Amino acid sequence: MKEVVNTKTVLHVPKWKFTKQKTNFSVENLFILGAGMVVIFIILCALFPKWIAPYSPTFMDTSLILSPPNSAHWFGTDYFGRDVLSLVIYGSSDSLIIGIASVLIGGLIGGIIGSVSGYFGGIIDVVVMRLIEILMTIPGILLALAIAAALGPGLMNIVLAVAVSSIPGYARVMRGQLMSIKKRKYVEASRSIGTPEWRIFLWHLLPNSWSPLLVMATIGLGTSILIGSGLSFLGLGIIKEIPDWGALLSQGRGYLTVGWWISTFPGLAITLFVLSVNIIGDKLRDTFDPKTSRTR
Amino acid sequence: MEKLLDIQHLKVDFTMKDGDLTAIKDVSLHINIGETVCIVGESGSGKSVTSKAIMRLIDYENGKISAGSIVLDGMDLAQLSQKKLRSICGKKVAMIFQEPMAAFDPVFTIGSQIIETILENKQFTKLQAKERALYLLNRVGISDPALRLNQYPNELSGGMLQRAMIAMALACGPDLLIADEPTTALDVTIQAQILKLLQEIKEEFGMSILLITHDMGVAAQMADRIIVMYAGRIVEYATVSQMFELPHHPYTRGLLQSITTIDSDRSKKLYSINGSIPGLADLPPGCQFHPRCPFATERCSMELPPLREVNDRYTACWYAEDLVESFDWKQPSGETKNDRHSIKEIVLSDSKRGSEPLFTIQQLSKFYPIGKKSPFSRNSSYLRAVENVTFTIEKGETFGLVGESGSGKSTLGRVLLQLEKPTSGKVFFQGQDLSKLDAKELREKRRNMQMIYQDPYGSVNPRWKVGDIIGEPLQVHDSLSAKDKHDRVQDLLEVVGLNKSSFNLYPHEFSGGQRQRIAIARAIALNPQFILADEAVSALDVSVQAQIVNLLQDLQRERDLTYLFIAHGLNIVRHVSDRIGVMYLGQMVEMAPSETLFLHPAHHYTKGLIDSIPIADPARTRERISLKGEIPSPANPPAGCRFHTRCPAATARCREEQPIFREIHTGHWVACHDPL
């Protein structure tokens, strides 16, 4: 109870006081601001590559093959004389689709499996969790690889492969959350009022359980893009004339000694995006929790 | 007398994200050799911070001593380095905490932890240290010390662990023992045992004790001098007899009057201090107590009164001399008119009562299978949480349920509301067998039976706004328009004494007492007939406890409610209940009207419980026949009378034959072969 009183005392401080919380602003908020800008910019690239990219991704300048970064080509050109910056910008859309779609599908399925398992418990939980554990014994990238290899290349198949490999993680987290939340007193209090079970599930259990899933999803977004890129890198990705980030990495691999920029910049783009999304995910979790959103 | 510890003008700050927060300010006190000093106060008063500051434990919690000195045996602890300090901790000062379970490291045995402490501080060989550990465990009253030495903390009960912690604190023979709420987490019977032990070892080891407590009864029994703290400052400082005879500060007076005792008048309203203790971040100006003080003047809200000497004691009130002389200082202030009103009402409700039973409980049992790890394994044995309990709750009455933790009183409550299905037996509510209802009918029935929980922090959804929490039952049962619902909730907020603007706030923005009001508003939203209050006031501060009890009683009168009041605070149960049932190891052992039970207990267990209550009056020392031992495990209850292992009057018959629950006088039931 003492701790609670301590937090209570902090509550009355207004939420955002930039003048007073200088340290807070300069470090934490600057990061979030930067991350937000990066994410927005990359999403814009994915939506409107034509307006942002300086060149067409298919335009080959044969006079400028493998030229290092310069003022005309910021990221240099590849072995066909294509502009790497434009390729990265055009490639962003496929990478984002793989990341977001697979997280949504994996998170949704995993979340449902986990909540069913955690809510009902007993025999259902035992059976479902053993199945999930079987899935977990196979490393995620290997599972995705197997699925992609079985289904053949294609955007939808990659999404599916990445989604399936991420299901066990979401399911376990959601199950744990539900098991702990369903024992909380306010759930019983609601039951004692006479609230029907489905309402308890929707009103009390879900809203209090899903915030770790959200954080996991933001981290998962990065992982999914990486796995997707990995599959493309291995040649199991989308075969199109405009490669995604993973395929770009893979194509540049052979030229690493003569043209380091071909695979370095797509790699940096992946890293930057994943990092930014993670920072935002952390912030989101804090904001969604009424307790931390006030004390911050 | 020689001073052992001398604290002068101590100020402790905690570093927070938005600047420093002063937890205690200008605290000066001293402890003489061989003396027990109690610091009393409600949560947030700074009493724990003071005790932690002495051992500089606050250094690990972002705290720092920003002013003042703590002189122990000529050494200023406030200036020492942590390294030097470590050599003093244990040898000169030792500490015991509120949560014995949390204070031991769960991965080491009790023995290794005590032996380690001994080795760290004194020149002992390992063998000698073990011997000493054995001796200490034996001294603090732990049976089979050699066996306990090799056990892990989770294998011992709370009371045992607290004894083990005392043994650990004694390991190096400290001069000063700091005990921070050492008995708050324990049952009243175990509390009596531990307090007695503390007194014994104090004499034996020639120690001084600094005891932190919120319980005036404990302070009265243990202390030589008492320090009352409020909002980080000392407000009164006097010897125990002075303090209880004539408190000089309005806050102390309020605290003493809020106490319910065995012989206080049940028909009177409990005295309560208005409002609640302020947060450290927004302390009121002037005297910090003035917003809650019935005697406050303009001066109190402007100037902070210093701690000054008045009539051989210290108090921090501008008007102490005048107030003590005034007429109504010794009278419970304010509500004389209301009191008479309430007496009349109670008499009225008395005649109304007894007409018809609301709840009828017949041979109710609830067993939990134990050792069941997965659905595939077979259950071998059962935990007998409730066994063969029969009683009725009549319309309009308050039925109290008491017993130590593990006696099954909470389980019984939950089975009554069908939150758990009974293993056998029947529960009739308004003449209807609840176990025969299907899920939908049961939900409909729940309209009439609601519940208030112990923990006001855990029983409301932290993500919901207060308005939605209180409106939940309305949402579930009545299809009201958004506006109607809003109006109803606003009315309810007013009824339970909360501000209407609370509607859009989140629960964590409220104090414990206010949250309990939210829970009460939710419980009465549907105008139920029955409310189960499971330890509803146990987690609250003394002054707030009284407010909530008064609120519950007012609501009962206005709305004709029936309560089942479960609590381990016997005084409170006695005050609110018309009839009381005493439970022991899953069985009802005695049931009687409130006065009868406390004046003429028939069961030896009830007598032991009552004798364990600390009396908030130092002048009245009582020969304590506190209960020995601890409640056995309900998985393996003793044969015959379940109480025979602890009963002072047990005979051979008690060991073999289970006594029947029979009526010895009208309305007075007891399960004992040989009632008192």
pLDDT digits (tens, 9 = 90+) for B285-297: 888 888 888 888 8
Q: Which residue has the higher pLDDT, A67 or B398?
A: B398
User: Would you state the structure tokens that stand for residue B483, as one six-digit string?
Assistant: 């506006």
Instruction: Quote the domain boundaries for residue B155.
Output: 95-173
Does the pLDDT at position A295 exceed 80?
no
Domain assignment present for B614: no
Please check whether residues B241 and B288 belong to one and the same domain.
Answer: yes
Q: What was the pLDDT predicted at B625?
A: 60
pLDDT above 50 for B352: no
Overall average pLDDT of the A154-162 stretch: 85
Residues B126 and B46 in one domain: no
Q: What are the C-alpha distances in Å from B420 to residues A211, B271, B365?
A: 30, 37, 11
Q: Quick count: other Cβ atoms within 10 Å of Cβ B22?
A: 17
Which of B333, B365, B396 terminates a domain? The answer is: B333
- Quote the pLDDT of residue B649: 85
Q: Which residues 135-154 on chain B approach chain A with CB closer than 8 angstroms?
A: none
End-to-end CA distance of chain A: 21
Tell me chain A's radius of gyration from C-alpha atoms.
23
Residue B255 pLDDT more than 70?
Answer: yes
Report the candidate in B562, B447, B551 with the shortest Cα–Cα distance to residue B494.
Answer: B551
Q: Is residue B511 part of a domain?
A: yes
Q: Tell me the pLDDT tens digit for each residue of B38-53.
A: 999 888 788 888 988 8
Mean pLDDT of B592-604: 90
Residues B571, B432, single domain; the answer is yes
Domain finish residue from B561, B585, B600:
B600
> Residue B624: pLDDT band by 50, 70, 90 thresholds?
low
Instruction: Give pLDDT tens digits for B75-93.
Output: 888 888 888 888 777 788 8
3-state SS, residue B122: coil
Name which of B444, B472, B506 is nearest A195 (Cβ-Cβ). Answer: B472
Is B648 a member of any domain?
Answer: no
* B111 has a chain A CB within 8 A of its CB: no
Kindly report the nearest CA distance between residue A132 and chain B, in angstroms: 17
For chain B, what percent of residues have pLDDT higher than 90? 17
Summarize pLDDT for B99-136 with one digit per residue, the tens.
877 788 888 898 888 888 888 776 788 888 888 899 99
Q: What pLDDT digit, counting tens, does each position of A29-70 carry?
A: 888 899 999 989 999 988 888 888 888 888 888 888 888 888
Q: What is the pLDDT of residue A132?
A: 92
Q: Which of A17, A130, A186 to mutate to test the interface with B (most CBs of B within 10 A)?
A: A186
Is B44 an interface residue toward A (CB < 8 Å)?
Answer: yes
The distance of B315 to chain A (nearest Cα, Å) reads 26
My answer on whether B149 and B261 are in the same domain is no
Q: What SS3 class is residue B329? A: helix
Asked if the structure places residue B466 within a domain, the reply is: yes
- pLDDT band at residue B347 using 50, 70 and 90 as cut-offs: very low
pLDDT of residue A15: 40
Let me know whether B272 and B144 are in one domain.
no
Q: Do A191 and B419 touch (CB under 8 A)?
A: yes
Question: Which residues partner with B428 through β-bridges?
Answer: B360, B433
Q: Are residues B430 and B511 in the same domain?
A: yes
C-beta separation of B415 from B422 below 8 A? yes
| Residue B566 maps to a domain | yes
Cβ neighbourhood burial of B643 (10 Å; 0-12, 13-18, 19+): buried
Within 8 A of B375 by CB-CB distance, chain A residues are 122-123, 126
What pTM was computed for the model? Answer: 0.80
**Looking at residue B377, what is its pLDDT?**
57
Total count of domains within chain B: 3
ipTM reported for the complex surpasses 0.85? no
Highest mean pLDDT among A208-212, A239-243, B522-526, B672-676: B522-526
B254 exposure class (CB count in 10 Å sphere: 0-12, 13-18, 19+): buried
Does B469 fall in a domain?
A: yes
- For residues B455 and B536, state if they share a domain: yes
Residue of B nearest to A186 (CA): B459
- Report pLDDT digits (tens) over A2-16: 333 343 333 343 444
State the Cα–Cα distance between residues B536 and B558, nearest whole angstrom.
19
Edge-to-edge strands of the sheet including B668-670?
B449-452, B530-534, B562-566, B398-402, B579-584, B587-593, B668-670, B662-665
Asked if B165 and B306 sit in the same domain, the reply is no
Averaged over B61-73, what is the pLDDT? 87
Q: What's the pLDDT score for residue B370?
A: 75
Give chain A's mean pLDDT.
81
pLDDT attached to residue B260: 72
Angle at B624 between CA B623 and CA B629, to 5 degrees: 155
Residue B344's pLDDT is what?
A: 38
Residue (of B245, B227, B229, B247) closest to B237 by Cα position: B227
Three-state DSSP at B581 gives: strand
As a whole number of angstroms, the distance between CA A83 and CA A57 comes to: 7
User: Which residues from A are below 8 Å from B539, CB to CB?
Assistant: 1
The confidence band for B212, taking pLDDT boundaries of 50, 70 and 90, is very high
For the segment B314-329, the average pLDDT, to the nearest whole number, is 81
- Chain B, 315 to 374: residues with Cβ < 8 Å from chain A are 374
A7–B contact, CB cutoff 8 A: yes
How near does any CA of chain B get to the CA of A176, in Å? 17
Between helices B158-170 and B188-205, what is the axis angle to 10°?
10
pLDDT at B456 over 90: no
pLDDT confidence of residue A26: 65
Residue A110 has pLDDT above 90, yes or no: yes
Mean confidence (pLDDT) of chain B: 84
Interchain pair A11, B508: CB under 8 A: yes
Residue B197 lies in a domain: no
One domain for residues B169 and B256: no
Residue A1 is nearest to which of B16, B282, B539, comparing CB atoms? B539
Beta-ladder partners of B367: B384
**Is A12 within 8 Å of B455 when comparing Cβ atoms?**
no
Least confident of A18-27, A121-130, B97-106, B542-551: A18-27
Domain-terminating residue out of B583, B600, B617? B600
**pLDDT above 70 covers what percent of chain B?**
92
Q: Tell me which amino acid residue A169 is.
A: G
Is residue B36 pLDDT above 90, yes or no? yes
Q: Is the pLDDT of residue B72 over 70?
A: yes
Q: Is the pLDDT of residue A239 over 80?
A: no
Contacts of B14 in chain A (CB under 8 A): 6
Query: Which segment of A85-99, B75-89, B653-667 scores lowest on mean pLDDT?
Result: B75-89
The pLDDT confidence band at residue B339, using thresholds 50, 70 and 90, is very low
The model's pLDDT over A164-193, given as tens digits with 9 standing for 90+, comes to: 888 999 999 999 999 999 888 888 888 888
- Parallel, antiparallel, or unpaired for β B579-584 and B398-402? parallel
One domain for residues B78 and B21? yes
B467: domain CATH number is: 3.40.50.300
Contacts of A8 in chain B (CB under 8 A): 279, 508-509, 511
Residue B277 DSSP label: P
In a shared domain, residues B124 and B63: no
Contact in structure between B271 and B290 (CB atoms under 8 Å)? no
- The reply to whether A10 touches chain B by the CB within 8 Å rule is yes
Specify the CATH class of A89-287 in words.
mainly alpha
Is residue B639 a part of any domain in this protein? no
- Which residues on chain A are in Cβ contact (under 8 Å) with B13? none
Whether residue B424 is found in the same domain as residue B541: yes
pLDDT above 80: residue B334: no
Confidence of residue A140 (pLDDT cuts 50, 70, 90): confident
Mean pLDDT of the B298-326 span:
85
pLDDT of A291 reads: 59
